[in-house]
């Protein structure tokens, strides 16, 4: 009996610490693929500027509509913003089938995670959306 209680406690602890679930993802979808870039430019202390640029990119991606905008499967939108002598490339892609509406808050959250979680930017795919935030040398 002692083993069963111990095993149950360990299993419950491991399940609650699972790195494969993004508890902030819409509808509790699991993280399909996260990849921080291993090379290229860093944010170089300009994360706040990158977040402002991400906010503006998302407002453009959803056409500044509070109701959101519909994407079709495979549809991608790209943006490039200059930050000092460098640039940041952003993209938003619908990776699930069919069509889906995205609002700016969801887009902003996805792009911010790549800025906050990856020193050189990154790309994350969830069940529906793929977000990329990528700092690069030179201007757009």
Q: Measuring CA to CA, which residue among 29, 20, 18 is closest to residue 129?
A: 29
Q: Rg (Cα) of the chain, in Å, rounded?
A: 18
CA pair distance 104, 69, nearest whole angstrom? 9
| Range 20-137: architecture per CATH | 2-Layer Sandwich (3.30)
Residue 27 vs residues 40, 82, 93, 101: alpha-carbon distances, Å = 33, 34, 18, 14
Residue 80 vs residues 23, 31, 35, 56, 125: alpha-carbon distances, Å = 29, 26, 20, 10, 20
Half-sphere exposure of 21 (CA within 13 A, CB side): 8
Q: Where are the beta strands (DSSP E) in 28-128?
A: 33-36, 69-72, 76-83, 86-94, 99-102, 122-125
Q: How many helices (H) and strands (E) does the chain have?
A: 3, 7
pLDDT of residue 113: 95
pLDDT of residue 33: 65
Q: 20-40: per-residue pLDDT in tens?
A: 333 333 434 344 467 999 999
Q: 75-114: per-residue pLDDT in tens?
A: 999 999 999 999 999 999 999 999 999 999 999 999 999 9
């Amino acid at each position: 009996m002692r083993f069963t209680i111990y095993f149950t406690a360990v299993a419950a602890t491991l399940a609650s610490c699972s790195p494969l679930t993004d508890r902030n993802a819409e509808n509790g979808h699991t993280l399909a693929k996260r990849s921080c870039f291993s090379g290229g430019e860093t944010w170089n202390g300009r994360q706040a500027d990158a977040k402002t640029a991400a906010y503006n990119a998302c407002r453009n991606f959803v056409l500044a509509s509070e109701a959101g905008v519909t994407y079709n499967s495979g549809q991608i939108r790209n943006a490039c913003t200059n930050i000092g002598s460098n640039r940041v490339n952003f993209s938003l892609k619908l990776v699930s089938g069919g069509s889906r509406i995205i609002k700016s808050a969801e887009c902003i959250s996805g792009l911010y995670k790549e800025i906050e979680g990856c020193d050189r930017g990154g790309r994350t795919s969830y069940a529906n959306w793929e977000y990329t935030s990528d700092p690069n040398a030179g201007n757009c």
